[in-house]
Each structure stands twice: as structure tokens, then as C-alpha cells.
Structure 1
Amino acid sequence: MAWKRILGIDASRTTMAHPTGVERYARAVIRALIPLAETEGVQLRLYFRDPPPHGLFPDSPWVEHRVLSFPRLWTHLRLSWEMARHPPTALFVPAHVIPPYHPPSAVTIHDLGYRYFPQTHPLLQRLYLDLSTRWSAAVARVVFADSQATRADLIRFYRVRPEKIAVAYPGYDPPPVPTDPESILHRFRIQRPYIISVGTIHPRKNFSLILQVIARRIAKGWEGQVVIVGKPGWPDPAFERLSRDPIWAGRLIRTGYADDESRGALLSQAEAFLFPSLYEGFGFPVLEAQACGVPVLCAPNGSLREVAGEGALLLPPDDPDPWVEALDRLACDPGFRAALIARGHANRKRFSWEACARTIWESLRELLRL
């Protein structure tokens, strides 16, 4: 009888009610790995901290759910204890930290932005990010990086052996665009024209540059709004200071977290999508915007040059003038606007969860000794 291979996966981040980038990544990668595991007769054992909602993952005789309820230090104590008592053949951690006790393991490290912008993180959080990333990169048999930029950072900052790192570009889930978006715009008190950006409120997102750009357009007579879609994260003093200017009364709309349908409606109706982030490990909002048919202007930092490809205008994150000029051209040159949208559609087709999972699976096969 053949020895039964079991791939354990830390699925603890998949049950969050309002998932952002890494949580969406964990859900999508696990879903895409299921058929690959079934084909090769590998049991997937998913570890949860909270009971997963019905239908989170497809039903399959090859997928087992284990809910390990524990109030604090779930990874370091409860998951580690489970690995010691009932170890799988290998463990994959797509969106968190490898536990202290573990079988042969693989981990996805999404970005090292805290190394570039330490001042944008509270001290204790920065220390935890550094220690946990250093630990996972050191003990993992395989490290998956979302981009070549993150791969280079792992080599630079943590001296991870290059042959140990596999770049597995994430896919993306295009938000649905409703046939009648008016009710969603009305709910958020948004009127056309408007420009939009998506991301957790954080100094690293550089939202203050967007306000500088649009303030200059307003001074030239542009009448429109700025829409920021994202839940609060860390205080951004520059953004908050600029947003108190009286010119933003009725013009600056902060939606907070928006579900997929709302995000699709808001993106699809925007004049342009601006993403001047100072660093991104990947940059899902860029692909979402391209899928929704909105012109994308973004900074070239971190992985954004890789992700945006030819489907965006890459502009400096510290100078508002090129952004103003680009928006002015988009407004008065329909051919230029259409070409940029078309390039965005072509670019986003390079990314899929199926391709991401196949890259990951090839390395996991070695850990499972298939």
C-alpha cells in the first residue's frame, strides 16, 4: 500500500470577514491547490483558528478541516503543538509564520516593506515583522516570493540562498462590475468625475501625493472628487493634515472597506486609478483596476513595475507634476486613454491563480517526496 502523503496548510488567515491582500491570497491559492493535490492523491489538511464558513473551500474527500481553537499565540503554541502530535508530511504557510515545531515547510513571504520604511510601523510591530520573517526564511525548505523584487529583498536583507526562493506571481480576482453602478455611487455620495485609489490607510500608500495632485487640478478648474477605498490601518500624518484643507469638503470620499461588488462599481466608473505607493510586495489593486477598464497611473516601486507591466503609466512617487500632466492628457486625448486601458487588459491576463498554484505545487512535490 502506498504511503499516504498529507500536506498541511495554515488556513488561519482565510476566515477573516474583511479580507485584504494576504488573506485573499491564502484563500485563492488553497482553492487552486485542491485539484492539483487530488490529481496526485495528496491529502490536504487545513488548519483553522476559527470555524470556516460553509463553502469557503470546495468540498472534496481529499480536503480535511481541523479547527484548533486557541485564544492567543495560536501559531506559536497551538499549531506548533499540533505539528508535534500529528505532523503532516509537509507544511505550507501561505500568509503567516512557520510555527516553532514543524515538519519540512514552505512559506510565502509577501513583502519586506518594513525594511524600507520602518518609520511607518509601530516599534513592536516592526520588531515582530523582522523576527518572524527572519525565522520563516531561515527554517523553510522553500520560500515563495510574490515578485522578483521580493526575492531580491530576501537575498539582500536575510541572506536567503537564491536557489531556495521560488517566485510565484499571484493571480487576482477581478471584482464584478454591476450593470447598474449608480446605486453604489449614490450610497457613497460619489459624483462623476472622480479619481480613485484602493488600499489600507497607511503612510506607505502615499495617499498624500494624490491630494497634492488633485489640488493642482482643482486650481486649474477641474471639478471632481477623490475616492479612497480602504479600511483604516496606521496613522498617516501627511495625508490627514492635507485632508483638513477646506477644498476637500465634499470632494474627498473615504469609503472604508468595500466589498467586491462595490469595489468593481467604483473602479469601473472612475476617471483614473492612482497608486503612488512607496512600496508593494505585489499590488493587487493595480490588476483589479486594469480588469475594470480604468486607466492606471502608479509608482514603479517594489514589485509595481513587474505587476503593472506595459499596462500603466509609471510616475515618480515624490513629484506631483507628472501625475497632473498625465491626468490632463487622459482627459483631453481619448485615443491615449483607450490605448492605456487596452494595454491594461492585455497585461492583467498574465496573472492567474492556476499558474501561481502550479508553480507552488512543483516545489511542494519535492517536500512531499512525490
Structure 2
Amino acid sequence: MTLGLDARSLVGNPSGVGNYLRGVLASDAFTYETRGYTATAGEIAFDGPRFTRTVAQPFVLAERALGPAQPIWWLNLTLRRALRHDNVDCYFGPNFLKPARCSLPSVIVVHDLVHRVHPEVHTPLYRWYLRAFLPNSIRTADHILVVSESTKQDLHRLYDVADDRVTVAPPAADDRFTPRSLSENERQRLREAYDLPEEFLLYVGNIEPRKNLSTVVDALRKLPETDRLPLVIVGQHHVPAPELERRLNADWADSLIHRAGYVPDSDLPKLYNMATAFVYPSVYEGFGIPPLEAMQSGTPVITSNRSSLPEVVGDAGVTVDPTDVSAFATAITDVCTDDAFATELRTRGLNRAQRFTWESTGRTVQRTIDAVLEEA
């Protein structure tokens, strides 16, 4: 039995979808012979004994003529033709979509519905792309995997999908996120490389309005100067956030806000280890990997009580209304001034993080595809 999948998210430096696909494929519980299709011959971030990479290149004329619309051609024509040519038995779509008019048994993964809930996050072209093609994929896929109960509820609310067609298969954090003791020399290197203060709060993620960083900045300003910890922001601007920029550029923010920008994978886990606490005030997530990375690193978490985030942290973190500046200020004070409470959160977080493993996710994906094939 051969499983065909869209492997474009593995090309180059994988982001959320690519990391999800890589985690599933690397799981010992996932045992299918798999053919991963890409549109280009660039290096991909996965190689395994049961995985074969196939480059399905579109016609050169089509690529030139279609320009930004080329991915639509590739998914719906080039990929569909390649699946048929290779006699693939089942299609797995890790990035929301399946080829239109693809008659194979199919399972797709819907990671979030940001394009519907917070459309400002995406470009107009990408919003149109998902609005045009996702409904057909949802309607015609034999089964749908989602990364959280929250996304499952969104799918039901926005697309009226029956519960028995949807299964939750959450991601896991990479093994490199773990508690560790850093030497003073290593700490000093990191402080100099990323302009880190001695103690700090940490945020990791894109900088955009739905991430709601303004609440944390306002909470810090609300605190007495003796209780303030600087905020280190790891991430890059994804869409304009003018209200946040106004706050970050204020004179009073100079000593409180440190923008580390992009931090490579080799150093990011160490910043989690150095942080006094991790803050994540997002108003909407499909899952929310950074809080899980923080818990797995042994760092106390303060996050939002919206969308999927309470599912991720459970009782192992402090969850507050992301629009309540006073509540965030109180949570920061509680975690940063009460050593016993912070230690309890670290212990709970490490235990909570153990619930999320790629082996478990791989088993869920495998069982879902097995069931679809049995019914085909």
C-alpha cells in the first residue's frame, strides 16, 4: 500500500506544517510506504527508509503563464496526474487541501481557520486560495484531522462538519526543548548575541495583531518599576501591527523591550531555559506550539484562555483573558515573585508536555488512514 502526500512544506526550512509532517513521518508508529511529491528539486527536511521523494514539475509554459497561481495548477492538475501515474492507493494532505476531482481515498489536516477568524493575517491572494479550495477539500475528504478540539469546533461552526468526520491529532514539541543547565560562559554568549538582560520574560512567535503582544507591553507598564521584568521578543513581523509598534517605540519602552529577531534552532531552546517566564497572549491559535516548547523546557507559562491554548497548557500554566491588562499584570507578578508557585508551574509543565508525543500523533494518523482504507 502506497500513501501519496503533498511534501512541499518540507522543502527548505520547515515551518509549522512542515514540522507537523516531519514529526508524523519520523514516528515509529507511522508505517506506510510513502511517496512525497514536491514541485521543485530543492533539499527537503526529511529522509526515511519508507519515504520516497518525487519531483512533480509542472509544464514550464504553465509555470511561466500562471505566475502566483502556479501552486493552484500544481495541486489540482500536476499532483493529481502524478498520483494517478504512480498508482497511489491513498492521499494524505498535510496542508489543508487535496486535489480537486481526486477520487482516491483521502485524509487532510486542517491546522487552523485563521483565514476565516483573523483574515488580516494572510495576503488577499492566500485568503482567496483557501476560501476557494478548502470547502471542496473539506466536503470531499474521507476524513479530516485537526490539531486541537478548538479547531474541531471551528470546523463544525464554520463549515458544518459532522463530529464523526473529524479526529484530533495534536503536534508535539521537538526533543531539543528540554531543561538544561547552561554554563556562565554560554549565558554570556547568548546575552551578547541577542541583547538579553539578566532576567526576562520571553515571547516566541510571529509579530502580528492576533498575537496580542500589546497586552503584555501594557501590563508591564502598569506594574511598579520594582516588579517589572524586560520582555524579550523572538520573532519577525508577519503583518503590520501599528498599535504594537507605537508602544514598542515609546521612550518608556527602551529599557523594557528587547527585540531579538530571528533566533536559530540551535539557540532558541537555551533562551527558553534562561527566561524567568514565558508569555503568550494570543487571541487565536489552531494549537500553539510555543507554550508547549516552554513547558517542555521547564519554563513557567502565562498564556491566553482563548481558542486552543487552554487545551495545550491545562492546569500547568496560568491562563487569563488576553484583553485584560490587569489580569496579565497580576499573573506576571505572581509567577515572577513567588518562587514556590513558579517551581510548581515548572513541574506541572514538564508533566503536561509528556502528553504530547509524535508517537501518539503518528498512531492517530495511521489509525485514521487505516479506517479510511477499510471503508473504501
TM-score by length of 1: 0.90
Give the match's secondary structure for 1:228.
Answer: strand
The AA in structure 2 aligned to 1:85 is H
The AA in structure 2 aligned to 1:233 is H
Tell me whether 1:8 sits opposite 2:4 in the alignment. Answer: yes
Give the match's secondary structure for 1:288.
Answer: helix
Give the match's secondary structure for 2:41.
Answer: coil
**Pairwise mapping of residues 32-43 of structure 1 onto structure 2 (< 5 A)?**
32=27, 36-37=30-31, 42-43=32-33
Q: Distance in 1 between matches of 2:17 and 2:241?
A: 21
The AA in structure 1 aligned to 2:182 is T
Alignment-derived partner of residue 283 in structure 1: 288
Which residue of 328, 331, 339 maps to 1:326?
Answer: 331
Which residue of 306, 326, 329 maps to 1:301?
Answer: 306
Tell me whether 1:116 sits opposite 2:147 in the alignment. Answer: no
Query: Do 1:16 and 1:23's aligned partners in 2 also have CA atoms closer than 8 Å?
Result: no
Shift of 1:357: 0.9
The AA in structure 2 aligned to 1:66 is T
Which residue of 179, 182, 195 maps to 1:179?
Answer: 182
Alignment-derived partner of residue 51 in structure 2: 63
Give the match's secondary structure for 1:221.
Answer: helix
Q: Distance in 1 between matches of 2:337 and 2:45?
A: 47
| Structure 2, gaps ≥5 residues long | 64-69
Tell me whether 1:164 sits opposite 2:152 in the alignment. Answer: no
Which residue of 353, 357, 361 maps to 1:348?
Answer: 353
Shift of 1:185: 2.6
Alignment-derived partner of residue 149 in structure 2: 148
Give the match's secondary structure for 1:149.
Answer: helix
- Alignment CA distance shift 1:50-1:122 (3 Å): closer
Q: Distance in 2 between matches of 1:296 and 1:348?
A: 12
4+ aligned runs moved over 6 Å, structure 1: none
The AA in structure 1 aligned to 2:40 is D
Query: Do 1:43 and 1:63's aligned partners in 2 also have CA atoms closer than 8 Å?
Result: yes
The AA in structure 2 aligned to 1:136 is S
Q: CA RMSD in A?
A: 2.1
Alignment-derived partner of residue 89 in structure 1: 89
- Alignment CA distance shift 1:307-1:139 (3 Å): same
**Pairwise mapping of residues 161-310 of structure 1 onto structure 2 (< 5 A)?**
161-176=162-177, 179-180=182-183, 181-182=186-187, 183-217=189-223, 219-222=224-227, 224-310=229-315
Alignment-derived partner of residue 44 in structure 1: 34
Alignment-derived partner of residue 134 in structure 2: 133
* Structure 1 residues 80-135: Cα deviation after superposition (integer angstroms, max 9, x where no partner): 22134334100101124211242211100011133222344444333323333222
Shift of 1:267: 1.0
Query: Do 2:106 and 2:143's aligned partners in 1 also have CA atoms closer than 8 Å?
Result: yes
Query: Do 1:7 and 1:88's aligned partners in 2 also have CA atoms closer than 8 Å?
Result: yes
- Alignment CA distance shift 1:54-1:328 (3 Å): closer
Query: Do 1:207 and 1:239's aligned partners in 2 also have CA atoms closer than 8 Å?
Result: yes
| Structure 1, gaps ≥5 residues long | none
State the number of aligned residues: 357
Alignment-derived partner of residue 21 in structure 1: 16
Q: Distance in 1 between matches of 2:29 and 2:273?
A: 32
Identity, in percent, stands at 29
Q: Distance in 2 between matches of 1:20 and 1:121?
A: 15
